[in-house]
Chain A
Amino acid sequence: MMANASPSSLTVEKAAALLGRRARWRWAEVLFWVVAAATLFLWPERHLILNEIAIIGLFAVSLDLILGYAGIVSLGHAAFFGLGAYVAGLFAKHVTGDPLVGLAAAGLVAGILGFATSFLVLRGADLTRLMVTLGVALVLGELANQMSWLTGGADGLQGIMMGPVLGLFEFDIFGTVAYAYSLSVLFGLFVVARMIVNSPFGLSLRSIRDNPLRARGIGIPVNRRLVAIYTVAAVYAGIAGGLLAQTTQFVSLDVLAFHRSADVMLVLVIGGVGYLYGGLVGAVIFKVLQDVLSAMTPQYWQFWIGLILVLLVLAGRERMTDRILGLWRRLTGRSAKAVDATRASTPVPEVQP
């Protein structure tokens, strides 16, 4: 009965193809990056806002790594973003104006904070994690406020002079070099993030998100994996903050503010959690909405953002897609009754989350 000792190579090939399916680059993805690169040449008057979008996108990818893939909720992700921004700013002021070295410093310091605070988020459920992350960000915000001799306090960190990127490209007032720089960093880090989530390590993160009990039950060192990804995400957020400081040549307390953490969560919810592009798509939508709405109603744009958020979460993206699919079925002649009948005949048991 079990004599089939050497599995047929066909099945092995099929298994390899199925497993590698997620990792293959799709045309839509290639198109996305081609369009992003094209905006460098085609849309020069928008480079300042595009630069901001790239930075927020990277910040959101960072949050997606822990929220979407490892299931760690955070309301204080700005702690790493803000720390990265201050480190990059101070580094440029006191050490060297070279952008890439400064960026590495920002990522490194944020990563150290991420590693140290990861042990706080290991234990406890979602509420604990929300409070702990929020608390860490609040503490950092207040420290930056009090240490005005270093950070400039409420006046912000001024007098940042950036050197040229790679010693070749000086930052210009139109933000073209800034955008090219941010987009390149974003792309590089995105490719790495994509690699991580499609690796065995990334798969183990998804299993932890789905069912930490069982993940332990198959020998996965759950805590170590969570520490690792939380640290990586902190590095990413720190680099995003560093990019903001370098390209705007200014750091204010705003980088550590609560709304930064909330906004990045919002961006991710708008774009969709757990597929990396959600952060990028969300960043585009969020920034464009903010731009359009604040032009129409400068004082009330947050009202609309809030309303959209409520509708999005209440209606639920999946339910919306279901509706559209249902409508499609009805249009193509398959009655809802038939769908219900097939549903009833096949028992769909609950899998424990």
Chain B
Amino acid sequence: MTDLSQTKLTQQQVRERIEQRLASRHRKEKIFRGLGIASIAFGMLAVLVLFTDIISKGSGAFVQSAIELRVHYDEQVLGIDKVDDESLAWANFTGVIREALRERFPEASSRSEKRELYSLVSTGAPFTLRDRLEANPELLGQTETVWLTADDDVDTFVKSLSDSAEGFRGRTSDQKAGWIEQLMASGELKKRFNTTFFTNGDSREPEQAGIRAALMGSLFTLLVTLALSFPIGVAAAIYLEEYAPKNRWTDLIEVNINNLAAVPSIVFGLLGLAIFINFFELPRSAPLVGGLVLTLMTLPTIIISSRAALKAVPPSIREAAMGMGASRMQVVFHHVLPLAMPGMLTGAIIGMAQALGETAPLLMIGMVAFIVDVPGGITDPSTVLPVQIFLWADSPERAFVERTSAAIMVLLSVLILMNASAVLLRKKLERRW
């Protein structure tokens, strides 16, 4: 103990010195706190700007213009006399729609005018009629009013009207714009919820393009990734943390795992191409191969976070179990693993979130293909959400702009859902000791 009265400084002097420094200490405290708040504010602002930008651009994609037409299922125009699979495949639904359009706007007479007229509705509209007729065969020869999806140019024009009175014309002629305005005025053109976006695969026609194929592709890919990387990663972490002796070899392995985490993802893509597709001859563009490649990529993340979770389990629990005569495996599986599980799951879900957003390695194994059909399994050709975003962002049609943003919104929602479930799981599994 230092007795102040014995040093050269008197208590008075000591107090003065402390007081002198006090102001600057408080100032530093304030500056530090201010810096913290500023960084958080910056982060929040960035997120806010990102979200408002994406949502303002992408929300339009969730509605789609549709045109109400009175169609007559004329046997002659359709070229069929009964409704069965074969005749439905041959039937000329386009003719029926054209006739309905001509009826609605009889003023279109020249070839070019007619072409303009026909382009009011989507090229996918005949399929709508086909489906209706297939479901209700008694409609043959009858007339009914149906809502048909409008063409993307029409949709873009309609949506742009809210920004400016002129609207975005693009390829839309004055006459066509007049028709559209006429339809809108009479309530025959309405913006309706865009179910197509959630039920279809990709398409060259924006109004028929949907996110479902990519979503399912991502889902299958992630399933493969999770099913492989979680057990392998956890097993590796348990071995390294609980069993392996600490020597030069395990040090080397640890360094290499850390290195693996830093390898650019495109390299994993090339590896996957060379090994899984060229050597093992697995199908190209398949979620199976995508999942394998992403497993290689997420494995280091899962191993590192699982090891951290295992390290965080208090050694007293291990000692208690060991003191009871539990074997090493019993110690791990009865005591350590349940306590480390929340941390491991968090790591796994962070790894999965990374994998969900990964594009580069999947380009190498052919998941960049144009996929129209929704994949039904892990060997079907498919694409994934980020690749779909990349493809749409690259497409010239203006209607793809909002679809790109909408796809980003879907991707972000999936991410938020995953992270939220991670937090919930953690809360549920977490135990206190």
Q: Do A and B come from one complex?
A: no
Residues on A lying within 8 angstroms of B by beta carbon are none
